[in-house]
Amino acid sequence: MKSIWKLCAAGTMVVLAGCGSSAPTDNSAAPDANAAAGGATNGASNAVSTSTAGLTGAGATFPYPIYSKWFEAYKAKNGVEINYQSIGSGGGIKALMGNTVDFGASDAPLKPEEEAKMPTPMLHIPTVAGSVAIAYNLPGIPTGLHLTGSVLADIYLGKITKWNDPAIAKLNASAKLPSTAITVVHRSEGSGTTNIFTTYLKTISPDWAAKVGSGKEVKWPVGLGGKGNSAVAAQITQNPGAIGYIELAYALSSKSPVVALQDKDGDFVLPSVDSTTAAVAGGLADLQKDIKSPIVNEAGKGAYPIAGVTYLLVYKIQSDATKEKTLVDFLNWAMTDGQGMAKDLNYAPLPSALVTVNQAAISSISVKQ
């Protein structure tokens, strides 16, 4: 089996507008983004300027590094403040359902029952694609530890409990694996990152599919929980022997080694912009038919197995004409200027065919008469 060891170098990450931080930071404030301090504005006033038709949003931590950069750049160009709460996909969906934000963000598409509870019809607008990296803490074992999907599922099922288990050792013959106990780390709240990860495990492991399944929240057989990608990253770095799933930007920021996962061709592939782009290319036909289609375990040379698009969720029918104009302008900006910022923050920009699908959806947004 061949190994693909090329890992995309980390770009400089500007995560909080005006704060100068280089590490992804999740904001765990309450879902009501109108009443809490804004993630992207780093504690700026909660009041939204009516003169600039500011927007409020809440949701996924997966795209937080790129969204923060977008909101900062868009404000610099247009003077519009976008106040975003990085609280997890589940929290963003609840805030949107309660009509307390102008948009939500999720790495998981809405379920039919969630859409039914929304005040108006919803649009799913994919923004960028990203990889869910499997990070670990094993001193002396650098990035590139080989795992298959079935072995990873058995670790998360609690069936493999030591790092020198024969199933892991067989895949890493040249590595000196310790007998250290494996500490499994997962998200503790409703998470689109969890949805992508568990959808992959469900796809690859019949045992996982039968016992756990997939979704933004599942009943974990074992492990420690962390709220947000940054908390999971911290748990991994603080616990020798730990393994966990986090968006690639968080793995690079925390300098955690990451797993090379076996793809459909039998190659071991590391998460990177290129391998995410290959995964999106593998799933593009399905996405064009149904924007909610998952893109895990896609076929294609160098396609990283755990990838997904992340969505902005917006009301198709807006109640405020001024905000509708601002929202449409921002979404169109994100599909053009915004895409050019993706690679520097270790996300894959959308292929042009998907941008075209999005632009058609954006043009359908209207104001309630």
Average pLDDT over residues 288-296: 96
- 299 within domain boundaries: no
pLDDT at 16 over 80: no
**Interval 137-180: pLDDT, tens:** 999 999 999 999 999 999 999 999 999 999 999 999 999 999 99
* pLDDT at 98 (0 to 100): 92
Average pLDDT over residues 330-351: 97
**Interval 65-88: pLDDT, tens:** 999 999 999 999 999 999 999 999
Closest CA to 87 of 191, 201, 177: 191
Structural contact between residues 42 and 306, judged by C-beta atoms closer than 8 angstroms: no
CATH code of the domain in which 245 resides: 3.40.190.10
Average pLDDT over residues 277-303: 96
Last residue of a domain, one of 242, 262, 289: 289
Last residue of a domain, one of 228, 260, 289: 289
**Interval 253-268: pLDDT, tens:** 999 999 999 999 999 9
pLDDT at 56 over 80: yes
**In the 8-state DSSP scheme, what is residue 345?**
G
CA atoms within 13 A on the CB side of 305: 28
- 301 within domain boundaries: no
The phi and psi torsions of 327 (rounded to 5 degrees) equal: -60, -45
pTM for this entry: 0.85
Domain span holding position 257:
131-289
**Interval 197-234: pLDDT, tens:** 999 999 999 999 999 999 999 999 999 999 999 999 99
- 154 within domain boundaries: yes
Q: How many domains does the chain have?
A: 2
* pLDDT at 369 (0 to 100): 80
Tokens of 54: 């500011």
Mean model confidence pLDDT for the chain: 88
pLDDT at 43 over 60: no
Closest CA to 86 of 112, 108, 115, 66: 66
pLDDT at 285 over 50: yes
Give the rounded percent of residues in the chain with a pLDDT score beyond 70.
86
